[in-house]
Amino acid sequence: MTVAGRLAEIADLGRDAGRGGYSRHLFDASDAPLRAWFRRSAQALDLTVEEDGDANLWAWWGPPGPAAVATGSHLDSVPGGGAHDGPLGIAAAFEAVAQLQAAGVVPARPVAVCAFAEEEGSRFGMPCLGTRLLTGAVDAASVLERTDAAGVTLAQAWAGSGRDTARVGPDPERIGRLAAFIELHVEQGRDLEDRGIPVCVASAIIPHGRWRLTITGEGNHAGTTAMDRRDDPVVALAGAVLAARDVARAGGSRATIGKVQVTPNGTNVIASRVDAWLDARADTEDRVRAQVEVTLERIRDAARAERCTLAVHEESFSPRVDFDAALTERIAAALQPEFGAVPAIPTGAGHDAGILAAVVPTAMIFVRNPTGVSHAPAEGARDEDCEAGARALAAALRDLAGRA
């Protein structure tokens, strides 16, 4: 088979006709068929599949630990996302195992292919939900109380999917089975395209976080309320969007307000409330914190000017991650024969690898993305680069696990 062929098997699952691309979220209609695909792919390679208490899937080549080398990514997407962010890392992992099996490699240590739950945090607002729960990076009880846009709690959604909420939480025994984790991912930028090379390794993930802003004003009639008598949170939101952009520009960092909910959201209604989500990223944690502080001060001013109030809730914070240098160098060396000296590049995107890096030596492999676009339908990777990615991952797995 090929990586492209494997991705083609799930190409119809979770398509979003309205937004374009894919909307695949935790326990939605695409979730079970995607998991079924994972199981079928694993079974075709004689891998043994298990699901942990945090809804993460593991397919084992050999016994389930100890000293295993794990590789994988996620099957969920952002709303209207591309086909490669997440699934490429899983399809490439199965393809790499298939190549090693075809070459007669007998792993000297177990290999696991993983699919982690709700990496994008698109339904419950917590990115890398599955790995944060698994590693104990978040408190399970408080995460289970989170609600989705429809007001369904994670606990309700979990139980509704037939899973046991009592099993949710850290699993140190499972983490203890791992010696290394490698996530292969489509590059979410144009670095590799500009350098003219198909794959590389990652050096670091820059710190980032998400803040929920609730701006409250007064609902009223669009036709009968004088312009100077309005407490309009949408006008305050306009100030918030500009503040986020201007502060990030001035600081050489990044800020995005990409999700907004207007209540009640009527054409002829002055809104009573706006919820907006601020995503902020910078090269150091102090810079992220300082950027958000200044931004929130300006947003508070914008809200005050419209006689609105602002409430702020930090939904998640992801500190800087430097990937394991020894593992990264070893993978780069394993890639050398086919790909030459590959660079190690930092990324502004979060990954489950960033969470797992706190508990196990972790590294990443990136695959060239010709447009650099990600989190949008235009995201992509050439078929031949996806195959190059699988060969790169196979070379890494062979080096790490293949020797008797």
70 contacts: CB under 8 Å, gap ≥ 6: 58, 111, 112, 113, 114, 178, 180, 181, 182, 360
Q: Which is nearer to ligand HGY, 61 or 116 (CB)?
A: 116
Residues between 27 and 86 that touch Mn ion (CB under 5 A): 85-86
Q: Which is nearer to ligand HGY, 99 or 122 (CB)?
A: 122
Residues between 150 and 169 that touch Mn ion (CB under 5 A): none
Q: How far is the CB of 300 from ligand HGY (least distance, A)?
A: 26
Which of the listed partners (ligand HGY, Mn ion, none) does 350 bind, with a CB threshold of 5 to 8 Å by partner kind? ligand HGY
Cis peptide before 264 (omega within 30 of 0): yes
Which of the listed partners (Mn ion, ligand HGY, none) does 344 bind, with a CB threshold of 5 to 8 Å by partner kind? none
Among 349, 364, 386, 396, binds ligand HGY (CB under 6 A): 349
Q: Which is nearer to Mn ion, 199 or 308 (CB)?
A: 199
Q: Are 380 and 368 in contact (CB under 8 A)?
A: no
Q: How far is the CB of 120 from ligand HGY (least distance, A)?
A: 5
Which of the listed partners (Mn ion, ligand HGY, none) does 127 bind, with a CB threshold of 5 to 8 Å by partner kind? ligand HGY
Among 120, 187, 231, 232, binds ligand HGY (CB under 6 A): 120
Among 31, 54, 118, 119, binds ligand HGY (CB under 6 A): 119
Q: Does 127 bind ligand HGY (CB under 6 A)?
A: yes
Which of the listed partners (Mn ion, ligand HGY, none) does 171 bind, with a CB threshold of 5 to 8 Å by partner kind? none
165 contacts: CB under 8 Å, gap ≥ 6: 144, 155, 158, 159
Q: Are 306 and 363 in contact (CB under 8 A)?
A: no
Report residue 369: phi and psi, to 5°.
-125, 110
Q: Does 350 bind ligand HGY (CB under 6 A)?
A: yes
Q: Which stretch binds ligand HGY (CB under 6 A): 91-99, 119-127, 225-233, 309-317?
A: 119-127
205 contacts: CB under 8 Å, gap ≥ 6: 318, 320, 321, 346, 347, 348, 349, 350, 351, 353, 354
Phi and psi based region of residue 379 (left: phi greater than 0; alpha: psi -120 to 50; beta: remaining): beta
Q: Does 206 bind ligand HGY (CB under 6 A)?
A: no
Alpha-carbon gap, residue 110 to 196, rounded angstroms? 34
Q: Which residues bind ligand HGY (CB under 6 A)?
A: 119-120, 127, 349-350
